[in-house]
Amino acid sequence: MAKDQGATPTITKGAKGGSRGGSTPAKPPAPTPKGPTQVVAKNKINPATFFKEVQAEARKVTWTSWKETWITSVMVGIMVVITSLFFLLVDGSLSFLMQQLLKLAGA
């Protein structure tokens, strides 16, 4: 019998990740946190309490005025028009360039 047969086994990883006996000791498991663990109890909420909380949260919301809504809608419309014109210009330019390239290739 060899001298090290009674020793605790050690684990090292080879090139392919297999475990072999070697001289590097295995890492011990991570320590667990000490102290009391807190368990969060789920509060049961009935529908009446839920709707009261919803109303309370709805009162906290700041609603926009009609003027702010109108201005924002107009700005969105303007940006849609500008963006559509930009993409129309880019699409037309690319289409023209592709037609010219295809004419050169077919000649």
Residue 39 reports pLDDT greater than 80 = no
Per the DSSP assignment, residues forming a β-bridge with 20 are 12
Residue 87 reports pLDDT greater than 90 = yes
Instruction: Tell me which of 42 and 99 has the higher pLDDT.
Output: 99
pLDDT computed for residue 51 by the predictor: 93
**Domain membership flag for residue 9:** no
What is the residue range of 91's domain? 81-107
Kindly tell me the sign of the dihedral angle through the C-alpha atoms of 67, 73, 76, 82.
negative
**Domain membership flag for residue 59:** no
Note if the pTM is more than 0.85. no
Residue 8 reports pLDDT greater than 70 = no
Overall number of domains in the chain: 1
Residue 24 reports pLDDT greater than 80 = no
The alpha helices in 1-107, defined as continuous H runs, are: 47-60, 66-106
User: How far is it, in rounded angstroms, from Cα 107 to Cα 60?
Assistant: 70
DSSP-derived secondary structure letter, 23: S
**Domain membership flag for residue 12:** no
pLDDT computed for residue 106 by the predictor: 82
**Domain membership flag for residue 107:** yes
